[in-house]
Amino acid sequence: MALNTTQQIFETIKKSNHPLIAFRKNWSGDAVATSLALRSILRKLGKSTVDVASDGFITPKKLTFLPEVDTIKPTINNLRKLIISLDVAENRIGDLHYEMQGNKLNIFVAPEEKNLDAKNISTTFSDYRYDLTLVLDTPDLESLGDVYQQNADFFYRTPVVNIDHNPSNEQFGQINLVEMNATSTAEILFNFLESLDPQLIDEEIATYLLAGMISKTRSFKSPNVTPRTLGIASQLIARGARREEIIKNLYQTKTIGTLKLWGRALMRLKSDPSTKIVWTLITRDDFITSGAEEEELPEVIDELIANSPDANIVVLFYEIPYLNSPETKICCMIKTLRGTTADRLISRSAEGGKDFKQFCLSGARLTDAEKLVIEEIKMNLLLKK
């Protein structure tokens, strides 16, 4: 009898010795918390070494309460080892050493008797360090950034389990657990564990999963929250999830600078109801006056989404200085919702995945960039019809 998706994932995990968990560069709190929950689960299933990675990840202050969040790797490297083999069946080695000459590594092998023959030397690569990748809350592999771009061959040759709730997910895994009716990836993982073994959910895992759900639904205020979602949250609290700690860290510890930046962004909020685009501008003076930093901009995006429930596209323009220069440059973040794909909205080169793009414009003023990008988005929306 054919295995269902849950059984396929479990059997694949059982065969793995060293799994990798990855999530998109433009991460969400749901992705972070659910990845940490999955790592705890895999450890319970006997996987002693499990790594979690996200391109360029830096732990935000609001998530420092999550155990082991600081162990998430910003990159993956050393995936394979180069093996240099020397056949010594007829010639024992007397001396072996190496030295660096500039950027070149020289390995010196001295035999005891006969001269070495180059035909007895061969090179190969070891197996990949990881034998399974579990990708969470990520619509496509490109959204993983350099974790995928710098290691595409690894993802091609290694089994991938894809777990997500995004309607635009490209079903890129060998096994795909994509539930579009779920509010979060944390909710999907809860369902997976319930069907596998409910006893796996201890206090720590329950806290991770509830944190993911609260983060993704903005404390259950998003319109797709269902009675089942609330029922799962209730079960997690009953199993020890620390709700008060989650709420305090996610929503009650905002700095004055962040709140000031929110206020300035909301004060300039603009919208086009016909295209369901909302956007705003943040000047360099806004950063200076508020004391906020560029890394706080994803929270501004979340606040724009919370205040624009009908929006399908959220655009944030912001002004930052060039490195070691008084000159400034204009950058833009585009976040798409409800299945709209960001990569079809702009023609310029940009970082990100299907639902998020980020790029900078040189030689443009903030208002000029606003007009240029918004018009381009509207034109591409029109061409899609």
Q: 266 with 250: CB under 8 angstroms?
A: no
pLDDT at 105: 81
pLDDT at 365: 86
Question: Which residues in the chain are classed under CATH 3.90.1640.10?
Answer: 5-77+129-250
pLDDT at 350: 80
Q: 164 with 180: CB under 8 angstroms?
A: no
Q: Does domain 256-384 have CATH number 3.10.20.30?
A: no
pTM of the entire structure?
Answer: 0.82
pLDDT at 297: 81
pLDDT at 310: 82
In angstroms, the Cα distances linking 272 to 140, 294, 343, 377 are: 29, 26, 20, 12
* Block mean pLDDT (10 aa), the chain, length 385: 83 94 93 97 92 93 92 89 73 76 80 72 76 95 92 93 91 95 95 91 96 90 86 95 92 78 88 90 88 80 78 89 71 83 79 83 84 90 72
- CATH of range 5-77+129-250; options 3.40.50.1970, 3.90.1640.10, 3.30.390.50, 3.20.20.370: 3.90.1640.10
Question: Which residues in the chain are classed under CATH 3.10.310.30?
Answer: 256-384
Beta bridge partners of 133: 20, 160
pLDDT at 99: 83
- 327 vs 11: CA distance, rounded Å: 56
Nearest to 368 by CA among 336, 328, 308, 338: 328
Token duo for residue 169: 């997910």
